Structure 1
Amino acid sequence: MGNEGRNAHGRFLASDLQICTVTEDSATVSWVTWDADISPGETPVGMETAGRLEIWPTNTRGEMRTVDSPADSAFHVLTTGGLKPDTDYSFRATSHGTPATYSPATVLAQYGAQGIVHPEEGYRFRTLAKLSGTYLGTIVVANDLHLGETADGNIIAGFPPAAVSAPGAEPYPTVMTESVIDAATRAGASHLFVNGDVTSENRPAEVELAERLFKAFPGALRTTRGNHDRPHRFSSGAEYAAAPPLAGKDSPGEYSDAFGSAFEPRQKMWVEHIPYGDLRVIGIDSTHMDAAGGTIEPQQFTDIEKELASRPNQPTIILLHHPMTRDAAWSHVGGPAFILNDADMLRLQRLIAEAPGVRLVCSGHTHRARRDTPDLPTRATYLETPSAKNWPTGATHLRIHTDGIYVNFRHAMGDAAFEWARRTRWTYFGLAPLLGLGPVEARNLVVRW
């Protein structure tokens, strides 16, 4: 679906409009132009067009701001700055004068059924309220890189049809990881946190690739372990033969753990003290040995409890791969077995509720943007953040101020990243935006200390 236009290349459809990022003074909008002459049964192909983004205060069109694509492209990601905080804006995105429109999947993801009933609301947004405190620095949270993976979108046994990298192209997990690192570097981030699923299956070659790519980031980098990074049995395949064994005096000898040797030991929390704002980031390993769901073992819980009790009011961000609310469990197709188990999630929520300095809890795993409702009263915001490697592609940037945090999802940038994004958009029978994009306010918000 999309609005049909024409240029020198032929007929195109301007579609897949989405509001990527809304800050206190800027907005980023993306859309794709598809070859209109490709039949519905064929793989969609992008067509290069000239893009333009127009943004104006909803009640004052005379104050319009316009930005054009630097070059013709099939994938447009345009940003307009100079906006006013806490203000309603309207916008229009066009390719060769043809307005881009939403796909039904994107409408439902960003606005729910309300977007179908009142489609005009989809062409408006409100900038974030302005924090009054001093800017201190930026940290970036990414998740679900899946380095070493070769097919995106499979659930079981090659179903549904997957997206794969173009012949001769750099593997898509590498492309997206490089894009995340480049964006974090350009943002001047002091820290990059990769919140689980660094690798596809914790193979030694995948861990070595991660180490090599991570060296490009000039700041501090920490990881949490995701279910794909769990220890694997040596018997899982010949590729594990050279992997170091799982560390620990009580560890069963049949397991390898290249990830633990290179990054973080299994079921061990860590603390990273950010050198500004008295900010503490706590990373938690929420992985099972042999399952996709989440668990926290007793010793790690003891360590978490001691750390939070030592300074309960210290500004704190918690990272763990698995979502940890019943809201997350029952709103995801994987159900409760896919996230942190019920007893552990409630225990961890109690610890967070007793530590009022914890204001943000970020998880990955579901590859979607969602703001979850906790089961216990708390001042903390619980977020599921989008995957780096599939639609919408990107990472979450946290701009730290003395009185709070701007939380903003940033789309992956660069021609290779755009090419891959176009491919992954059509996974899950074209429903990737519905499953992963999430509401604008789940990707762009203010968290106050």
Structure 2
Amino acid sequence: MDCCPSSRRQALVWAGLVATLPFADSAMGAGTASAATRSAADVRSGALLVTDLEVVTVTDTSAVITWFTGSKAEVDRYGAPAPVPTDTELLLGEPGNPGSLRTVLHDTGPTAFHYAEVHGLEPGRTYAFMGRSAGQAAQQSMLQFPGSGGSMDAPGVFTTLVPPPGRYLFTVALCNDLHMGEQTSGIIVGDWPPSFQQDPGLPPYPEVMLGALLDDLRKPDRGADVLLVAGDLTAEAKPRDVARVRQLLDGWGTLNRDYFVARGNHDRPHVGPDYAGCAPVPSAADHHDCWGDAFPYRRQTLSSHEVGGLRVIGLDTTMLDAAGGTLDESQLADLQHVLRHDRDRPTLLFGHHPVTFESAVTTAAGPAFDLDQGKARKLEALYHRTPGVFFHHAGHTHRNKRTFAQESQAVEFLEVAATKEYPGGYALVRCHTGGYQVNFYKTRSELARRWSQRTRAEYFGAWPHYTLGTAADRNHTVLRDLSGLHPVHRSGS
């Protein structure tokens, strides 16, 4: 059973966006030359394509820039340029002075999926940059939309953030849309548009992408203390997929101590023989809740926890048989009761469906795909009456987008791009006593970078223009009094 059949409106929106994009022609019929042979031949013949340059992450002292090297002469089974492994070189310099560019990273290990991360940068400084492979400069292939909310998107330069003031406390990782059990990515309706699958012999891509995320978060340069997963942990909540995602997350930490989850529309109770062995839903006996058997939350109930003094509240925004979101009056009443106590306590909430009006009117699938707007306005009003609420994390749209309530800038509403496909990553919220810094990261294992590059071509190549977001959507610093919080340290599994 497909929980969220796409509307005709959604298909038309994507078709309209695709029609505006300048796509390069590609021919089907991949060649059979080995990667090593193809690399040398393409470099010698000038057939090397160095493209898809993206400034993904900009912190106060570091940056992550990615690109791809492929063949102009050969294509893969999807008609995309065949990968060509080459070196990875990053140059930095002064804006407006090309002669100042100097190599700051040069990895000679061959890869087609380049991930250049540099540290030791100065906060609040603008740098010119160049990505280079086989001596050839990487080119941007994405439309450069004007930035919003303070974004300074511009080709060839980036500006590091100014860190929040005060003492560092802890880091919260945000992710969503894992889709464990999914086998095909990029379908809107039926078999349209062309979709993507993992190569034979490789692990399922949801496991590749979640494994890469969890491995990243263990590393000292990411240093996540806790992880919040805002829904769609599974593709369709089948028992084996629920069990598998729980197993992988439990390998990283302990539920409700190291990681916290909220249900997404794909995780909702289902009908049919595949689900008959799971607990029935009292109000709809033909539906069985396999996700709820593995993660001990009843549908349309909230969870509340504490991390270093930070109140963390998970919301269940799912409907029983629809892709859109809502909040039952009983859950709203429970939330009001929780927030009424200690109204000034710093509070972060997360749930699957986006909330704000701006999000609703810019979602490709239309406003009905997001949280019901009547309940959304009630939620915003409740946040407005609770001074401690400062952040709401959502998924569902598979994009990076930062919005605010129409009448207040006091609460940040952040949609984080999907883990399971391009851009394939997570956000880190680094909390200080004087505020917090948000940064989005792509996952960096070789298989994860390979899958992200493949799914970059979803929806006829329109996907990056919708999902990556502006530099300010992905990377920003917010001043906020968090001095009542205290450091935490992840306990591990």
Question: Is the 1:356–1:378 contact (alpha carbons within 8 Å) kept by the matching residues of 2?
Answer: no
Which amino acid is 1:218 matched to? G
Quote the sequence identity (%).
Answer: 34
Q: Do structure 1's residue 405 and structure 2's residue 436 form an aligned pair?
A: yes
1:87 to 1:200, Cα distance in 2 relative to 1, 3 A:
same
Q: Supply the distance in 1 between the matched residues of 2:418 and 2:53 (Cα, whole angstroms).
A: 19
Deviates more, 1:396-405 or 1:290-299: 396-405
Q: SS state of the match for residue 179, structure 2? A: coil
Q: SS state of the match for residue 72, structure 1? A: strand
Matched residue, 1:95 = 133
Q: Do structure 1's residue 81 and structure 2's residue 119 form an aligned pair?
A: yes
Q: Which string of whole-angstrom CA distances, capped at 9 and with x for unpartnered residues, describes residues 122-173 of structure 1?
A: 1111111122211111121110000000000001112111110001110000
Matched residue, 2:490 = none
Q: Do structure 1's residue 207 and structure 2's residue 242 form an aligned pair?
A: yes
Matched residue, 1:348 = 379
Q: Do structure 1's residue 242 and structure 2's residue 273 form an aligned pair?
A: no
Which of the residues 314, 324, 328 maps onto 2:345?
A: 314
Q: How does 1:3-402 map to 2 (within 5 A)?
A: 8-10=40-42, 11-38=47-74, 42-58=79-95, 62=100, 64=102, 66-69=104-107, 71-105=109-143, 107-108=144-145, 121-186=154-219, 187-218=222-253, 220-233=258-271, 235=272, 238-246=273-281, 250-263=282-295, 264-274=297-307, 276=308, 278-402=309-433
Matched residue, 2:466 = 435
Question: Is the 1:9–1:47 contact (alpha carbons within 8 Å) kept by the matching residues of 2?
Answer: no
Q: SS state of the match for residue 254, structure 1? A: strand
Q: Supply the distance in 1 between the matched residues of 2:447 and 2:207 (Cα, whole angstroms).
A: 10
Q: Supply the distance in 2 between the matched residues of 1:320 and 1:57 (Cα, whole angstroms).
A: 42
Question: Is the 2:39–2:84 contact (alpha carbons within 8 Å) kept by the matching residues of 1?
Answer: no
Q: SS state of the match for residue 291, structure 1? A: coil
Question: Is the 1:244–1:256 contact (alpha carbons within 8 Å) kept by the matching residues of 2?
Answer: yes
Q: Supply the distance in 2 between the matched residues of 1:56 and 1:409 (Cα, whole angstroms).
A: 24
TM-score by length of 1: 0.91
Question: Is the 1:164–1:423 contact (alpha carbons within 8 Å) kept by the matching residues of 2?
Answer: no
| Matched pairs, number | 431
Matched residue, 2:30 = none
Q: SS state of the match for residue 74, structure 2? A: coil
Which amino acid is 1:356 matched to? P
Q: Supply the distance in 2 between the matched residues of 1:313 and 1:63 (Cα, whole angstroms).
A: 48
Q: Supply the distance in 1 between the matched residues of 2:81 and 2:384 (Cα, whole angstroms).
A: 48
Q: Supply the distance in 2 between the matched residues of 1:306 and 1:25 (Cα, whole angstroms).
A: 41
Q: SS state of the match for residue 426, structure 1? A: coil
Deviates more, 1:376-385 or 1:359-368: 376-385
Q: Supply the distance in 2 between the matched residues of 1:401 and 1:63 (Cα, whole angstroms).
A: 34
Which amino acid is 2:84 matched to? M
Q: SS state of the match for residue 83, structure 2? A: coil
Question: Deviation at 1:332?
Answer: 1.4
Which amino acid is 1:251 matched to? S
Q: Supply the distance in 1 between the matched residues of 2:192 and 2:350 (Cα, whole angstroms).
A: 31
Question: Is the 1:65–1:80 contact (alpha carbons within 8 Å) kept by the matching residues of 2?
Answer: no
Q: SS state of the match for residue 38, structure 1? A: strand
Question: Is the 2:39–2:85 contact (alpha carbons within 8 Å) kept by the matching residues of 1?
Answer: no
Matched residue, 2:451 = 420
Q: Supply the distance in 2 between the matched residues of 1:74 and 1:295 (Cα, whole angstroms).
A: 43
Question: Is the 1:360–1:380 contact (alpha carbons within 8 Å) kept by the matching residues of 2?
Answer: yes
Instruction: Give the unaligned 5+ runs of structure 1.
Output: none
Q: SS state of the match for residue 450, structure 2? A: helix
Question: Deviation at 1:67?
Answer: 0.6
Q: Supply the distance in 2 between the matched residues of 1:208 and 1:279 (Cα, whole angstroms).
A: 29
Question: Deviation at 1:326?
Answer: 1.2
Q: Supply the distance in 2 between the matched residues of 1:24 and 1:137 (Cα, whole angstroms).
A: 16
Question: Is the 1:385–1:396 contact (alpha carbons within 8 Å) kept by the matching residues of 2?
Answer: yes
Which amino acid is 2:244 matched to? L
Which amino acid is 1:29 matched to? I
1:403 to 1:64, Cα distance in 2 relative to 1, 3 A:
farther
Question: Is the 1:269–1:283 contact (alpha carbons within 8 Å) kept by the matching residues of 2?
Answer: yes
Question: Deviation at 1:192?
Answer: 1.1
1:59 to 1:272, Cα distance in 2 relative to 1, 3 A:
farther
Question: Deviation at 1:298?
Answer: 1.0
Q: CA RMSD in A?
A: 2.2
Q: SS state of the match for residue 216, structure 1? A: helix
Q: Supply the distance in 2 between the matched residues of 1:388 and 1:183 (Cα, whole angstroms).
A: 12
Question: Is the 2:428–2:438 contact (alpha carbons within 8 Å) kept by the matching residues of 1?
Answer: yes
Question: Deviation at 1:371?
Answer: 1.4
Matched residue, 2:483 = none
Question: Deviation at 1:410?
Answer: 0.9
Q: SS state of the match for residue 420, structure 1? A: helix
Question: Deviation at 1:44?
Answer: 2.9
Question: Deviation at 1:317?
Answer: 1.2
Question: Is the 1:180–1:412 contact (alpha carbons within 8 Å) kept by the matching residues of 2?
Answer: yes
Matched residue, 2:10 = none
Matched residue, 2:9 = none
Question: Deviation at 1:70?
Answer: 5.3
